[in-house]
């Protein structure tokens, strides 16, 4: 739940760099609440942050997220992205990771521009698929009315 605040902080920190480069950023906050919405947006895991259409951390892992489970009021666990940054794991996107991703996007280094970019085929995680399949108006067999 703190990732939105971390993103706002990161944007404020990089604002002087963006101004100096005459670069603007448009933030689109997309709330995906159904399986039908996940597939067109190619949502793989919650929470996802993309810059220029690329996930800032495509090699993700998931971890039980109690706050999302509380919001969902599901009987089972809900897993969300566990952010990895500088050898540590975080339940919220670290501001430093976001700043680095933003700066790299607007000022790509020569090294990055020469390397081929790794691409990942789209695949919705089983956890998110299960969560979204049970997100209709009716309760699922496990009692989840997410």
- Model confidence, pTM: 0.67
Which pLDDT belongs to residue 146? 45
Structure tokens at 109: 């280094």
Task: State the 10-residue block means of pLDDT for the chain, 146 residues long.
Answer: 89 94 90 85 82 86 59 59 90 93 82 56 80 62 48
Structure tokens at 3: 């990732």
Helix (H) or strand (E) segment spanning residue 7:
helix 3-21
Which pLDDT belongs to residue 128? 81
- Return the CA Rg of the chain: 17
Taking the C-alpha atoms of residue 123 and residue 44, their distance in angstroms, rounded to an integer, is 6
Which pLDDT belongs to residue 32? 84
Which pLDDT belongs to residue 118? 63
Structure tokens at 31: 């709330």
* CA 62 vs CA 79, 91, 109, 115: distances in Å: 6, 9, 30, 28
Which pLDDT belongs to residue 45? 77
């Amino acid at each position: 739940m703190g990732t939105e605040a971390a993103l706002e902080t990161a944007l404020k920190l990089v604002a002087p760099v963006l101004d100096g480069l005459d670069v603007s950023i448009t933030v689109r906050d997309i709330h995906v609440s159904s399986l039908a919405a996940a597939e067109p947006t190619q949502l793989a895991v919650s929470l996802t942050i993309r810059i220029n259409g690329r996930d800032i951390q495509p090699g993700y892992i998931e971890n039980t997220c109690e706050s999302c489970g509380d919001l969902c009021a599901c009987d089972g666990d809900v897993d969300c992205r566990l952010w990895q940054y500088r050898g540590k794991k975080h339940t919220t996107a670290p501001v430093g990771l976001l700043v680095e991703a933003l700066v790299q996007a607007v000022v790509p280094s020569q090294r990055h521009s020469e390397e081929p970019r790794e691409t990942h085929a789209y695949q919705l995680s089983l956890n998110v698929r299960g969560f979204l399949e049970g997100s209709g108006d009716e309760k699922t067999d496990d009692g989840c009315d997410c």
